[in-house]
Amino acid sequence: MAPTTGAPEATPPGATPPDAVQLRERTRRLLAEHPPATTAPADFLDARFDAGLAWVHFPAGLGGLDAPRALQPVVDAELDAAAAPGNDPRRIGIGLGMAAPTLLRYGTREQQERFLKPLWTGREVWCQLFSEPGAGSDLAALATRAVRDEGTGDWIVSGQKVWTSSAHLARWAILIARTDPGLPKHRGITYFVCDMTDPGVDVRPLRQITGEAEFNEVFLTDVRIPDAHRLGDVGEGWGVARTTLMNERVSIGGARLPREGGMIGPAAATWRERPELRTHDLHRRLLDLWVESEVARLTGERLGQQLVAGHPGPEGSGMKLTFARLNQAVSGLEVELLGDEGLLYSDWTMRRPDHVDFTGRDAGYRYLRSKGNSIEGGTSEVLLNIIAERVLGLPPEPRDDKDVAWKDLAR
Instruction: Evaluate if residue 35 carries a pLDDT over 80.
Output: yes
pLDDT tens across 176-195, in order? 999 999 999 999 999 999 99
Distances (CA, A) of 403 to 143, 186, 407: 17, 9, 12
Residue 313 has pLDDT above 70, yes or no: no
pLDDT band, residue 6 (cuts 50/70/90) = very low
Distance of CA 371 to the CA centre of its chain: 18
Helix 315-338 to helix 280-307 angle (10° resolution) is 160
Strand, helix or coil at 143? Answer: coil
Query: What CATH number labels 241-391?
Result: 1.20.140.10
Q: Among residues 248, 260, 341, 381, which one is catalytic?
A: 248
248 is catalytic: yes
Task: Please report which confidence band the pLDDT of residue 401 belongs to, taking 50, 70 and 90 as the band edges.
Answer: confident
235: left (phi over 0), alpha (psi -120 to 50) or beta: left
pTM over 0.85: yes
pLDDT in tens, 338-392: 998 888 877 777 888 887 777 878 899 899 999 988 988 778 888 898 889 888 8
- Whole-number pLDDT of residue 50: 98
Domain boundaries along the sequence of the chain: 1-86, 241-391
Q: How far is CA 190 from the centre of its chain?
A: 20
| Strands 126-129 and 155-161, bridge-based pairing | unpaired
